[in-house]
Amino acid sequence: MRNVFSLLLTAAVLMLAAIETPDALARASQGGRDPWNAEHMDRLPPEIRGAVNQMCGSSARAGHYFATYLDNARMIRLHFEHLNCSEQARFCKGASCLQQEYLSSGGHYRLIRTFYAGGGD
């Protein structure tokens, strides 16, 4: 009976550890770095970075998911809820925030769509 109890206790501890692990791994993968990182801006193509800097100023800092890359980076979608600048309030209206899509054409990106959508869109 004692062995059964010990086995059940061990199984319960392992299950709890498995439930907590994904969140812990996500926090660990950030490596303690600031989520509002200027490097995310530096990685954008120059024409997109310039457009964002016009809207936000040169102090713009972006979260990890500010720019998402679609169709092998042929299209870049910007999610302004993940942008930190002094003008943050003007990018969101209630639960909807500004998004922009840029398409690569001839080696340069051009703005093709601006719209408001809820977070995660």
Could you read off the pLDDT of 47-92 as tens digits, one per residue?
999 999 898 877 788 999 999 999 999 999 999 999 988 755 588 8
Counting the structural domains of the chain, the total is: 2
Same domain, 5 and 51: no
Same domain, 26 and 42: no
Domain range enclosing 68: 38-118
Same domain, 53 and 95: yes
Asked if residue 65 lies in contact with residue 82, where contact means CB atoms within 8 angstroms, the answer is: yes
Distances (CA, A) of 4 to 11, 14, 17, 71, 95: 11, 15, 20, 53, 51
Average pLDDT over residues 14-24: 40
Same domain, 6 and 63: no
Same domain, 42 and 28: no
What is the model's pLDDT at position 77?
Answer: 98
What is the model's pLDDT at position 61?
Answer: 86
Asked if residue 67 lies in contact with residue 78, where contact means CB atoms within 8 angstroms, the answer is: yes
What is the model's pLDDT at position 110?
Answer: 97
DSSP secondary structure letter of residue 90: G
| ∠ Cα 77 114 87 (to 5°) | 85
Same domain, 43 and 72: yes
What is the model's pLDDT at position 18?
Answer: 41
